[in-house]
Structure 1
Amino acid sequence: MIVRLFDEKEHAQSYWKYRISPSQEIIDMIINFLQKHRSSPQELELAVDVGCGSGQGTVLLGPHFTKVVGTDVSPAQLEMATQHATAHNITYRECPAEQLPMADGSADLVISIAAFHWFDHARFLKEADRVLKPRGCLVLLDYSIIMELSYGDCSHALNDICKELYAALLLYRNPYLGANCRDRYKGTYDKLEYPDKEWHEELWVRKTVPLSHYMGMIQSLSNYQAMQKDDPEKANQLSHDITHRLMRAMGVSCPETELLLSVRYSGLLACKP
């Protein structure tokens, strides 16, 4: 893994509380893709969730596999994931994405959700190929920090305010990510030498959350965390101002007022020959 972030315990707690997981529809799409390309209808044995963070996505895989292993380089994130682990078939391992502690050809699924962009891409793809069984599935998903808010008849005003927030955060984008994560995922899809593969541009996850939850998710992003380390007062003021502007636009006085949050995922599904 090229970049190490999200290592602090407080940040790991925020990550677990506020990050939006893929929907059940996305998980079902992945399982259907895997089943469609399998040579026989055998039981799905092993899924590996790489860069699993605090495990929100890992737990969604549990019902579909005999064993699920989440891996990450952050002890704080894995501690949080372990605290919330309830299924007997889910475990966690601390390791780099490029050095997975699994045998050759052992995994039915290798998946990374909103983490692949931090990896050494060439080394990880080689490692994923090593770990996957023939006809196993590689899934790389990411979501855009440009989210959409909906509330009554003021949704347009809310999203105009959010555009200012995203523009401020863009100044603190980690240089390793380049200009656009989406292009990195699409470029990987285009170059990946697996004949059976799919690219999905818009996989929307919509969830009703309090306004405070949306702001908590924003504060958990690497851009915001970088701003906070560089200038805590500036970061706190930005969060305060945006929250109160959104509340005024909604005509409410409580940040626990619920609104509809829409998060756009995109990414690739590919089957190893």
Structure 2
Amino acid sequence: MAVRLFEGRDHAAAYCRYRVTPCELIDTIVSYVEKKTPNQCNLAVDVGCGSGQGTILLAPHFTKVVGTDVSPAQLEMALTNENPPNVSYRECPAETLPFACGEVDLVSAFAAAHWFDREKFLLEVDRVLRPGGCLALLSYSMDMELEYGDVPDTTLNGICKEFYTALLPFRHPHLGTSSSDIYSAMFDSCPYPDKEWTGSLKVKRSLPLSGYIGMVETFSSFQGLLQKDPSRAERLSDDTKNKLMSAMKVSSPETEVTVIVKFFYWLARKPL
């Protein structure tokens, strides 16, 4: 059974505002789709699309892009985007996609597949993909890093690690100790012989320090703490922010920092 989270309106709004989408990977995905079957980029389906950041990035490359999600709140947020005319959204589980057999050229999932029922999802992907169609799954690890001016990276990242360590007891049990293990297991269980795993891609973004804090607050572990003890969650977030500002010698949480997000991904092609 799939795990359902991220369905509240406030969480959906924060997800839309703070999550980082690796636009650097879109060309890699599209090139993989076109490698053996060029000029067949008609329909892409972005599963677990959330607020649609990844869905929109696919739009220039496909005739039609459909984002799907189980959360009405996330889809409502996606509809507030400036969506291209070839982008639409559907509410449905990842394991039951509303598409005909062999209709889809690409199935993607951006930082969502770890919540799916792995066996049922892969079977559904195989059903909807055309021969030669592709699957692209990607996510990132929690251990993001920060850079700021001449401040030693070890100083900032030591504070970040304290933040992550405090959240570990509230990590959802479905994720285990590492979500990358879930993706690795999915990769191994995918029956397609044509598949590629990439274990590390560092993506850098300039964000306000408050944006980094906001991104961590969208994680399921922080949300777990927030539900159990809101005051403690707020204190932890504020203490981390203040420690980082002190180390950076700045007075505003809107000070820009470089956030390094560590992505991993895999691509697979259904046999022709």
Corresponding residue pairs, total: 270
Map residues 245-260 of structure 1 onto 2, 5 A cutoff.
245-260=243-258
Any idea what SS the aligned residue of 1:184 has?
Answer: helix
> How far did 1:153 drift?
2.2
Q: Deviations over 1:10-46 (max 9, x none)?
A: 11110000000112x21001011111132xx224100
- Structure 1 gap segments, 5+ residues each: none
Specify the SS of the correspondent of 1:201: strand
SS at match of 1:57: helix
Check conservation: 2:45, 2:67, Cα contact below 8 A: yes
The alignment status of 1:14 with 2:51, answered yes or no, reads no
Deviation at 1:151, TM superposition (A): 0.6
Instruction: Determine the C-alpha separation between the residues in 1 that align with 2:263 and 2:128.
Output: 25
> 1:194 maps to what in 2?
192
**Distance (Å, rounded) in 2 between the aligned partners of 1:151 and 1:167:** 22
Query: Which blocks of at least 5 consecutive residues in structure 2 are unaligned?
Result: none
- Partners of 1:37 and 1:169 in 2: how far apart? 44
The answer (yes or no) to whether the contact 1:26–1:203 under 8 Å persists in 2 is: no
Amino acid at match of 1:210: P
Contact 1:197–1:270 (CA under 8 A) maintained in structure 2: yes
Q: Which residue of 2 aligns with 1:131?
A: 128
Contact 1:110-1:128 at 8 Å conserved across structures: yes
Q: Match for 2:139 among 119, 137, 142?
A: 142
Q: In the TM superposition, what are the counterparts of 1:38-117 in structure 2 within 5 Å? A: 38=37, 41-117=38-114
What amino acid is aligned across from residue 5 of structure 1 in structure 2? L
Query: What is the TM-score of this pair, normalised by structure 2?
Result: 0.97
Mapped to 1, the partners of 2:258 and 2:178 lie a distance apart of 25
Contact 2:95 2:120 in 1 (8 A): yes
Q: Spell out, residue by residue over 1:175-229, the C-alpha distance to the aligned partner (whole angstroms, 9 max, x if none).
A: 1112211011112212321111100011221110000000010111111011000
Q: Is the CA contact 2:40–2:105 (under 8 Å) kept in the aligned structure 1? A: no
SS of the aligned residue for 2:268 comes to strand
Q: 1:28 corresponds to which residue? A: 27
- What amino acid is the match of 1:121? R
Partner in structure 2 of residue 231 of structure 1: 229
| Runs of 4+ off more than 3 Å | none
| Distance (Å, rounded) in 2 between the aligned partners of 1:223 and 1:85 | 30
> Aligned partners of 1:103 and 1:139: how far apart in 2?
19
